[in-house]
Amino acid sequence: MGLSTKLVVSGAVAGAALSYYVRSRHQRTGESYLSIVRQLPGDALQWADDTRARAVRALEEGKTAARGREEEFTRQLNAAGAPPGA
Amino acid sequence: MDSSFATLAMSTPTIVLSYAAAFFFVVVAIAAAYALFKAGGTLQRVDTVLGDVDREAVPLLQKAGTTLDGVNANLGNVDQITKDVADITDKIDAMATAVEGAVSTPARKAASFSAGVQGAVTSFMRRDKTAPAGSAPRPAEDAAAAWSAPAAEQASAAATTASKAAEHDAPAPDALTDEPSVAARAGDAAVPDAAAEAAGPVTGAAAAESDAKD
């Protein structure tokens, strides 16, 4: 597959996805096609910002959960290896 | 005659005593001889027993010494076995410790990693209304989703008006190069507000319900 073919296929896929998004949003909100297309960069940036913020928050919460699980596991191992009555 | 009678009368007890003493000594001699004879027999038996003991005790003691040597050798073997068992126990303890360390640490890390991934995925998939960047478009979508037929025309007109106002306020090159998100967010935020206002209380209640669902 040559580069031009890849570009054409990629453009076709991107166009189809864009058309589907615009059409579905038009059906959902009733906005005009021009308005939807004009708001696409802003929506994309908002989605990127939202995803980035959610990813950062998810990473922090994942770290916290992993630390808590490791501490709990260590505590359970120490309790299992401790002599009776200790 | 009187004198001989007197002499005889005076010597009779002495003679009697002499015979009595002689008889006594004879009896004593016979008893002593009998006792010595018995003692001799007894001593003969004792001598025989001691001879038997001398003849049999030495091999017995030699056998006992040999047996004790064997017992000592076996005790040495038992001591060696005990040491080997102690060494094996120490090695098993060290091996168990090593296996525990080699297994528990990756298991702990894997459990922590899985818990972290689970928490991160759960947090990432959870819709948070307090998200600063993602909260803006959601009311617009919810309000648009609650768009109803009677208010459709008014909402469309309000959206068109807001789009024109945003297009007029923010020039197109600026919206695409320097601050595209600001202009788009302004237009996007203006649309749902206008649509919500135009749609009236029905659309506002639907938007509030959608927020409550989130």
pLDDT digits (tens, 9 = 90+) for B88-116: 999 999 999 898 888 888 888 898 999 99
Point out the domain boundary residue: B90, B125, B144: B90
Total domains, chain A: 2
Say if CB A29 and CB A14 are below 8 A apart.
no
Mean pLDDT of chain A: 89
B130 DSSP assignment? T
In the numeric block, the tokens 């910002």 are attached to A49
A21 and A51 share one domain: no
Q: Is residue B104 part of a domain?
A: no
Query: Which residues between 47 and 76 in chain A have a beta carbon less than 8 angstroms from any beta carbon of chain B?
Result: 47, 49-55, 57-59, 61-70, 73-74
Point out the domain boundary residue: B34, B69, B90: B90
Q: Which residues of A48-84 are buried (b: 16+ CB within 10 A; e: fewer)?
A: ebbeeebeebbeebbeebbeebbeebeeeeeeeeeee
Q: How confident is the model at residue B144 (pLDDT cuts 50, 70, 90)?
A: very low
CA B150 to centroid of chain Cα atoms:
74
B139 and B82 share one domain: no
A29 and A69 share one domain: no
Task: For B127, name the nearest residue in chain A, comparing CA atoms only.
Answer: A54
Residues of B in contact with A78 (CB under 8 A): none
Identify the residue among B114, B124, B154, B214 best suited for mutation to test binding to A, counting A beta carbons within 10 A and taking the highest. Answer: B124
Q: Is residue B106 part of a domain?
A: no
A13 and A50 share one domain: no
Task: For A75, name the nearest residue in chain B, comparing CA atoms only.
Answer: B108
Q: Which residues contact B162 (CB under 8 A, 6 or more apart)?
A: B187, B190, B191, B193, B194
Q: In this predicted structure, what is the pLDDT of residue B160?
A: 52
Q: Is residue B5 part of a domain?
A: yes
d(CA B37, CA B155): 153
Domain with B177 in it: 135-213
Residues of A in contact with B152 (CB under 8 A): 30
A65 and A82 share one domain: yes
A25 and A57 share one domain: no
Give the residue, B130 or B22, on which the prediction is more confident.
B22
A22 and A51 share one domain: no
A54 and A76 share one domain: yes
Q: Is the pLDDT of residue B129 over 80?
A: no
Q: How confident is the model at residue B200 (pLDDT cuts 50, 70, 90)?
A: very low
Domain with A80 in it: 40-86
In A30-39, which residue ranges form alpha helices assigned H by DSSP?
33-38
- Number of residues that make up chain B: 214
Determine, for residues A32 and B159 on separate chains, whether the beta-carbon distance falls below 8 Å. Answer: yes
Give the residue, B24 or B162, on which the prediction is more confident.
B24
Q: Is the pLDDT of residue A76 over 80?
A: yes
Residues of A in contact with B104 (CB under 8 A): 77
Tens-place pLDDT, residues B47-85: 999 999 989 998 899 999 999 999 999 999 999 999 999
d(CA B105, CA A32): 59
- What is the H or E stretch that residue A41 is in? helix A40-81
Identify the residue among A27, A38, A51, A77 best suited for mutation to test binding to B, counting B beta carbons within 10 A and taking the highest. Answer: A38
Q: In this predicted structure, what is the pLDDT of residue B1?
A: 59
Identify the residue among A50, A56, A59 best suited for mutation to test binding to B, counting B beta carbons within 10 A and taking the highest. Answer: A50
Q: Is residue B105 part of a domain?
A: no
Determine, for residues A30 and B140 on separate chains, whether the beta-carbon distance falls below 8 Å. Answer: no
A30 and A45 share one domain: no
State the average pLDDT over residues B33-40: 97
A49 and A23 share one domain: no
A61 and A30 share one domain: no
Q: How confident is the model at residue B161 (pLDDT cuts 50, 70, 90)?
A: low
